[in-house]
A and B are shown apart, each in its own frame.
Chain A
């Protein structure tokens, strides 16, 4: 009952696990092994651990920042307004909102790319894209609880599916590939870790969703659990990619997670990657919805725009972006832009907030 939002719209602390999980395990899950293996080779899994530890640190910082606020002001928009002043704060907020929208677009566009390459190579993907957006609108119109529900099912469905598959694949691994450990210089592992943090660029959603969590004291634990689960999932997937493919092969494959499952053969089904793409759609919808919900909610707090209106505007932005990113290179450009902004958010913005709140700690008690 001690949340700022009424019980009717908030969720119990355990659900932070799913919200955080969805914001951390993003659309890159299908392809990140390819990216991180470029610099760190078979030591790429070390960079996954490093990146996860950094994210755990960030989550700790975010909770620190939130705890420094008055309870009813513990959310991103008000923090920005308080720390940077009204004008600059609003500017920062607007940039972050745009960043969230672009983040949703990147997840959306990457998934359409996967569909285009793996499922419907001969037809256009915009109709299914529009339909996905309609569903996203429906999900967000149900409010935060509905988005959380989607996050929960997105999390559960993937776990139920992916774990048995990984066990089945386990007979085909070349465990030698991991050896020798630490065969790459620190610089290469660092580059790869930085690459890995691109998967975590949505973690600031915690700051936005926080007021919607009931019994916030208990919530911290679940956020760390989410980081742990994501870290383990990424670690497992990267390890699998390293020991399942040879190094040269990994550099050739764009979506290692999907290729992992393409040799599986069951009595009723083969080509499990199709099924994985299918089930993955729930997760993608959750990512897009969560990002857009966060954007709409922040927009409302910043400019008092109705969420319904801003959601329509953001959908329009996504459709326009979709129209302008016709080929893969343009889509890649947007993704790269998003990732580089994401680096600023992860390495500059959140630590900066943390630093400010370290110095402003007294103010809370004076007020």
Chain B
């Protein structure tokens, strides 16, 4: 066997040396500029692209560089930005993309398709819509010394607060699914020019990803409770207070919640009349409530809370139905339950979809209260 291999060695070595000379796809990590956050804005019918690049030349401190460029389309940002840097720009590490409000008003469909087809872009990319200009928002995060500040903010809010989870993969899922519509987190600046996560933006896929409405953190929580087995959402609970002794709002934190849907569709002739029962079970902790959660008062409070939550959810669903958008995915829910489901028929009947929400809330004791 040894002799058989022998003559192959020089062959192998020459092949190796030949190939060593022929390779040229290097992206040595310190010789490229890594885009980590990008923003798109409209600027006089042109697209204004801004990117944040992490500069790691100092040990403990990351400097963040902001570069901007304008172009006639959304796709040539890399070559244009390359004019402005000493190293080639690569976007394989891009994890956050922000659309300016005016950019998002135009359809986001084409850019989503583009993102979905580029293999360099991770499925973990976070997308968000900025209140005003994305470039301003990006500029506001420079002092944080973290080019992924916005991404971390969104992830943190999804894990610990009211924002439903979303990333490029789930957004594309919603976008391409005929029974679901896209929603994106919404970011804005507060009066001190700090970035702030405030709620969600709802889109309608049917018309190529049209922005429909911005909704606040409360609605974000309702959506989150309907979509996932949410944890850690918080809410201000309005308390009717006859004596005016306390603050008018109590604080509610959701420990766990689970929504289950039941198909109640009935056939009227050949035409189905869509109806759904939503049952929500949740465990919550309340703060800012006087010592009344014992005995009859406790049950009273619980009933009130259940009613409040179910009313609010009902309202949210009604809003979606009226606006003809489906971030919860009722369409895909019925597709699995009703044979012969078709998207166009369903969304024609969608505004008149019946829904009935029942909430089942358990109030947990918190702290050392007795």
Contact = CB atoms under 8 A, between A and B. Distances in A.
Given A177-B332, A246-B177, A134 B123 contact: no
Contacts of B332: 174, 176-177, 246
A349 to B, nearest CB: 36
Interface in A174-208: 174, 176-180, 183
A248 interface: yes
B8 interface: yes
A252 B176 contact: yes
A141 B177 contact: no
Contacts of B180: 246
Interface string A87-119: 000000000000000000000000000000110
A263 B167 contact: yes
A180 B122 contact: no
B351 interface: no
A172 interface: yes
B336 A123 contact: no
Contact of A249 (B5, B172, B335): B172
Interface in B117-137: 117, 119-120, 122-124
Interface string B167-208: 101101111111010000000000000000000000000000
Nearest to A128: B19
A188 to B, nearest CB: 15
B172 A123 contact: no
B23 A127 contact: yes
A265 interface: yes
Contacts of A247: 176-178
A344 B176 CA distance: 36
Contacts of B117: 252
A359 interface: no
B333 A176 contact: yes
Contact of A262 (B12, B15, B169, B175): B169
Interface residues of B, number: 39
A122 B22 contact: no
B61 interface: no
Nearest to B25: A123
Nearest to B26: A123
Interface string A156-180: 0000000000000000101011111
Contacts of B119: 117-118, 121
Contact of A263 (B5, B120, B169, B177): B169
B4 interface: yes
B24 interface: yes
A119 to B, nearest CB: 8
A333 interface: no
B216 interface: no
Nearest to A308: B4
B116 interface: yes
A17 B135 CA distance: 58
A259 interface: yes
B112 to A, nearest CB: 10
A248 B177 contact: yes
B245 interface: no
A146 to B, nearest CB: 10
A120 B19 contact: no
A141 B4 contact: yes
A248 B178 contact: yes
B337 A179 contact: yes
Contacts of A123: 23-25
Nearest to A258: B119
B336 A177 contact: yes
B173 A245 contact: yes
Contacts of B15: 130-131, 134
A309 interface: no
A131 to B, nearest CB: 7
A270 interface: yes
Contacts of B124: 262-263, 265, 270
B59 interface: no
A249 B22 contact: no
B176 A248 contact: yes
A9 interface: no
A246 B336 CA distance: 13
Interface in B39-83: none
A347 interface: no
Chain A CB within 10 Å — which of B15, B167, B335 has the most? B335
A138 B339 contact: no
A271 interface: yes
18 contacts: A117-B119, A118-B119, A127-B23, A128-B19, A174-B173, A176-B332, A176-B335, A176-B336, A178-B336, A179-B336, A183-B339, A245-B176, A246-B174, A247-B176, A248-B175, A249-B116, A249-B173, A271-B92
Given A118-B119, A123-B23, A141-B4, 7 more contacts: A117-B119, A123-B25, A180-B337, A180-B339, A248-B175, A252-B176, A262-B123
Interface of B: 4-5, 8, 11-12, 15, 18-19, 22-25, 92, 113, 116-117, 119-120, 122-124, 167, 169-170, 172-178, 180, 332-333, 335-339
